[in-house]
Amino acid sequence: MKKTLYQKIFDRHVVHECDNELPIIYIDLHLIHEVTSPQAFDGLRYKKRNLRSPNKTFATMDHNVPTNSRNMYDATPMAKIQMETLINNCKNFNIPLFDLQNISQGIVHVVGPEQGLTLPGTTIVCGDSHTSTHGAFGALAFGIGTSEVEHVFATQTLRQARMKNMRVFVYGQKNNNIFAKDIILYIIKKLGTSGGTGYVVEFTGPIIKSMSMEERMTICNMAIELGAKSGIIEPDQTTFTYLKNKNFSPKNNSWNKYIHYWSSLKSDNQACFNRNISINISNIKPQVTWGTNPSQVISIQNKIPKINTLKTKIEKEDALNALDYMGLKENSYLINIPVDKVFIGSCTNSRIEDLRIVASVVKNKIISKNIKAYIVPGSGLVKKQAEKEGLDKIFIKSGFQWRHSGCSMCLGMNDDQLKPYERCASTSNRNFEGRQGKNGRTHLVSPWMAANIALYGKFININ
């Protein structure tokens, strides 16, 4: 039987399967952070269970860490408690922890790949929905709930239903200043926030194959915004080059053996996909969300759609509510609407490649006086590399706040938040109501677009 990449990885990890029961699969890597792990650790203690595989569990602090310092005591009271709890839990259960004093600390979905923990053909879980990011390496990666975190702690396995298979083939001629963020927003606009429900989505095609690993991670990061279980991309030489000599990557003779296996990780030619989608990105312009879910997207030069042009009653109701919340009008342009804050960071766009793009835009320029702009690197290593290249000096000279690593304003669990009715151009992945602060208004954009908005203090069309 011909199989898809997802099916090959899933089947290889089944440890138990019988009729009328969900399969149980083995988990190769369990990533944890300070927010979704405390109750799971408490569950272990209550049931007097041990951690099954401490060597397959890695922890970092990210969701609510302060980004203006590396002092845990500068955090909010709740964040401080959660970080202290994580430190104690990792010590008690012998789990490696990248804490605030560790140069490798950072956003969990940045840390895993850059440490070489994320490897092709593996199963990866984390108590965070954007675990799909790791699928860029040809891994089966998905977010889990706190009760599932406890189950993996105790057994290193998880009961999982088999998902349907979707292939999204991306082709065309990529225009200047169009980036992975624009492409995935365009795909979400086309398919909708439930278009991937029940599927693992394999992204393929010449555009995907030409992408760097950073770009591929952006694509898979936002697969969850399609409603998909996860996103996945076939590993290739780009993947192998990225992983070589990482801290936890295979070394010496083992490297060649792994390359041989990883090279087999591809969907068979005659594999059956439940759904096939082709997306031509030849004519797209920089994308920006206008509403309160990632599918409410337009090209920057286009108008917000008229309500009566939307297909379903639900879409129309959602659009009316979104326009009211965002303080916008149907059939109007975003161009020239003022922006209050710019946030460049998150597990979607906080890697060194993203920061280089921003620096190329703002070098020797000053951001608008009405803008507060934050650049939050995805990890201590990203920060170190940016400073080695002098990017931090470019950002600071331009008027940006150069922060320490963390999730920051992506979800506003620390002090990095929008004030009520402030409008933000954000490189993060969700524009839900209140996501970045109560009554805050979030517009998702690429790092390139965010940098330009910071310079002009408003939405502009300069492509």
* φ, ψ dihedrals at 406, nearest 5°: 160, 175
Q: What's the Cα-to-Cα distance from 365 to each of 112, 171, 177, 360, 462, rounded to whole Å?
A: 34, 35, 18, 10, 16
144/135 Cα distance (integer angstroms): 15
Query: Read out DSSP for 218-245?
Result: HHHHGGGGGT-SEEE----HHHHHHHTT
Spatial separation of the C-alpha atoms in residues 235 and 221, rounded to whole Å: 16
Residue 458, strand partner residues: 338
Q: Taking each helix axis as running N to C, give the angle between helix 108-115 and helix 380-388, from 0 to 180 degrees, rounded to the nearest 10.
A: 70
Is 135 buried (19+), middle (13-18) or exposed (0-12) by CB count in 10 A? buried
Residue 124, beta-bridge partner list: 29, 141
d(CA 82, CA 89): 10
Is 272 annotated to bind a ligand? Reply is no
All residues at 6 or more sequence positions from 45 whose CB lies less than 8 Å from its CB, including other chains: none
What does the block give as tokens for 63?
A: 């969701």
Paired with 1 in beta bridges are none
DSSP 3-state of 365: coil
Is 424 annotated in a binding site? The answer is no
Burial 100-134 (b: 16+ CB within 10 A, else e): bebebbbbbbbbbbbbbbbbbbbbbbbbbebbbbb
Q: Which amino acid is at 336?
A: N
Angle value at C-alpha 65, between 61 and 67, nearest 5 degrees: 125
Binding residues: 347, 407, 410
Binding residues for [4Fe-4S] cluster: 347, 407, 410
